């Protein structure tokens, strides 16, 4: 199973805190993103990279590097080569497909790319970015709102979320991941934002605290499970040319196929 494609909870943890990294990996987050960017002060970047170079994590993880306009980009890219446990790289502030291509030329090994869309230009060029070979799109809602000079709110995010969903679907990518809820202790707000994102067609949410994982998971999990089941049923049905068959121990006939198709049309 392609974890990056099916993941719905992405938990950030700062690279400056090795103790927190292992705790994050022990959570039920589908993907842990170890952050070298926003969560790390400039004066701590070197130490953060050293932490990751000597890390022997209990499972694979993603790294968010610094963007190409910073003095840290080349060192971050070099770090990837000595970290065999890296499952993906999150590139921040992606505003063009050429930016993704430049990263591909810079990195020494093939690694799945997650593109963080955090600007108006990134939203404008979404179709090209989605078709640039990235594995998935992530929404950097806080930076997006800051650039627009607007207070973060659900109405403000409807348009970029919808654009992310459409661009992902058109490019054959898994549904995009929504930005984080910054109010760590407000589960009601987290639930509401996650439900709105789900209704718009997004596939999960960035988390900035372990306690957010269960809430996000509870809202998105039923949708993921139903759609995964529907895909399995239809794939098996089409591969055998129709008729009655068994999928994961369940008999599949015309009514079951019709139900699977309905789920995927919702």
- Alpha-carbon distance of 126 to 231, in angstroms, equals 26
Which pLDDT belongs to residue 255?
86
CA distance 8 to 143: 21
Q: Are strands 245-247 and 250-252 parallel, antiparallel or unpaired?
A: antiparallel
Residue with tokens 């209704």: 199
Candidates 224, 128, 117; CA nearest to 167 is 128
Nearest to 201 by CA among 233, 234, 168: 168
Which tokens belong to 131? 């078709």
Residue 54 DSSP one-character state: T
What span, in angstroms and rounded, lies between the C-alpha atoms of 86 and 99?
21
Which tokens go with 115? 């593109």
Q: Is residue 142 within 8 Å of residue 119, measured between CB atoms? A: no
Answer yes or no: are the C-beta atoms of 89 and 65 closer than 8 Å: yes
Q: Which pLDDT score, from 0 to 100, does residue 266 have?
A: 57
- Mean pLDDT of each 10-residue bin along the chain, 266 residues long: 85 96 96 97 97 96 97 96 95 97 89 97 98 97 96 94 97 95 95 95 96 94 72 84 81 84 72
Instruction: Let me know the angle formed at the C-alpha of 208 by 202 and 212, rounded to the nearest 5 degrees.
Output: 70
What pTM did the predictor assign? 0.85
pLDDT at 40: 97
Q: 3-222 domain in CATH 3.90.1580.10? A: no
């Amino acid at each position: 199973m392609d974890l990056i494609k099916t993941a719905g909870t992405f938990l950030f943890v700062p690279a400056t805190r090795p103790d927190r990294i292992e705790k994050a990996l022990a959570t039920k987050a589908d993907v842990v993103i170890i952050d070298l960017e926003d969560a790390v002060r400039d004066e701590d970047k070197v130490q953060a990279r050293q932490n990751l170079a000597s890390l022997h994590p209990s499972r694979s993880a993603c790294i968010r590097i610094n963007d190409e306009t910073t003095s840290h980009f080349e060192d971050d890219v070099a770090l990837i080569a000595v970290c065999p446990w890296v499952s993906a790289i999150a590139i921040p502030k992606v505003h063009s497909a050429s930016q993704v291509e430049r990263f591909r030329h810079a990195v020494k090994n093939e690694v799945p790319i997650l593109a963080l869309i955090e600007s108006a230009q990134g939203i404008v060029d979404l179709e090209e970015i989605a078709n640039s070979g990235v594995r998935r799109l992530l929404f950097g809602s806080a930076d997006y709102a800051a650039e627009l000079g607007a207070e973060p709110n659900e109405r403000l995010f409807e348009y970029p979320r919808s654009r992310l969903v459409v661009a992902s679907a058109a490019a054959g990518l898994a549904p995009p991941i929504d930005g984080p809820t910054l109010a760590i202790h407000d589960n009601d707000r987290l639930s509401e934002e996650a439900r709105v994102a789900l209704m718009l067609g997004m596939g999960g949410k960035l988390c900035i605290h372990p306690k957010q994982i269960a809430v996000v998971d509870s809202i998105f999990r039923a949708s993921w499970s139903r759609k995964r089941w529907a895909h399995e049923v239809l794939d098996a049905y089409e591969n055998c040319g129709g008729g009655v068959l068994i999928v994961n121990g369940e008999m599949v006939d015309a009514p079951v196929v019709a139900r699977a198709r309905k789920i995927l049309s919702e």
